[in-house]
Chain A
Amino acid sequence: EAQLVQSGAEVKKPGESLRISCEGSGYNFNNYWINWVRQMPGKGLEWMGRIDPSNSYTNYNPSFQGHVTISTDKSISTAYLQWSSLKASDTAMYFCARLTSGFQAFDYWGQGTLVTVSS
């Protein structure tokens, strides 16, 4: 069965950089887009963007464009979400999710990575 496993919780200071990961297993990683979803404390889900692992093509929610970068290393079936300069407002749970072919649904989700940014 497919599985997405994310890296562990992070505590960072404002201005620091960070990269979190999402490793896929149990399926052909190249065949499904990986999406990143933010959930701020006590708030709803927000789609951040996605990557096609087969060609590394990305697109972003305009609200996140320029502040985060989504990438992938298909040789190790892993997708990444990274920041070059964190803000306190980046404090949130971040989920990766696999999109079914044909845009039907996000069918498998990672367990989430909690990012805390505080001085």
Chain B
Amino acid sequence: QSALTQPPSASGSPGQSVTISCTGTSSDVGGYNYVSWYQQHPGKAPKVMIYEVSKRPSGIPDRFSGSKSGNTASLTVSGLQAEDEADYYCSSYAGSSNFVFGGGTKLTVL
């Protein structure tokens, strides 16, 4: 199973919006609504920000939103704040109890 494709970097100024894409295939992203997004700060464990494509866990600000079209999922961070600077990873169910992560995107708040 191949990693999902994410851009290596993204950036935006405070208050702006940025969208990170995650491209897979019909066997993972396109085949299931089990796409999730994780935020990882340096030296920390990942934290789930979005699950089931567009749902936010309790405590996650509504500045974070998710969507999917075909084989590509997207994470949008609106109203960028300094603390949003982190690595972001998408993940998808890939069938037969398997999962796959994206390569990760480093988000820089300018």
Contact B51 A104 (CB under 8 A): yes
Distance A83 CA – B63 CA, assembled complex (angstroms)? 42
Distance A97 CA – B103 CA, assembled complex (angstroms)? 18
Choose, from B12-20, B40-48, B69-77, the stretch at the interface.
B40-48
Name the contact of A109 in the complex, choosing from B34, B47, B51, B93 (C-beta under 8 A).
B47
Distance A107 CA – B52 CA, assembled complex (angstroms)? 12
6 A-B pairs with the lowest CB-CB distances in the bound complex, closest first: A105-B51, A44-B104, A109-B45, A105-B36, A45-B101, A47-B99
Show 19 residue pairs from A and B whose CB-CB distance is below 8 angstroms, ordered by the A residue.
A37-B46, A37-B101, A44-B104, A45-B46, A47-B100, A59-B96, A59-B97, A59-B98, A103-B93, A104-B36, A104-B51, A105-B52, A106-B36, A106-B38, A107-B48, A107-B51, A107-B57, A109-B45, A109-B46
Distance A112 CA – B48 CA, assembled complex (angstroms)? 16
Task: Please indicate which of the listed interface residues B45, B87, B97 has the most CB atoms of chain A within 10 Å of its own CB.
Answer: B45
The size bracket of the interface on B is: 20 to 34
Contact B45 A95 (CB under 8 A): yes
Further 11 A-B residue pairs, CB within 8 A, beyond A46-B101, A103-B32, A105-B36: A37-B46, A44-B87, A44-B89, A45-B101, A59-B96, A61-B98, A95-B46, A105-B52, A106-B38, A107-B57, A111-B45
Residue numbers in A under 8 Å from B47 (CB-CB): 109
The size bracket of the interface on A is: 20 to 34
Contact B103 A44 (CB under 8 A): yes
Q: A-side binding surface: helix, strand, loop or mixed?
A: strand
Q: Which residues of A contact B (CB under 8 A)?
A: 35, 37, 44-47, 50, 59, 61-62, 95, 97, 100, 103-107, 109-112
Contact B48 A105 (CB under 8 A): yes
Task: Please indicate which of the listed interface residues A37, A44, A46, A110 has the most CB atoms of chain B within 10 Å of its own CB.
Answer: A44
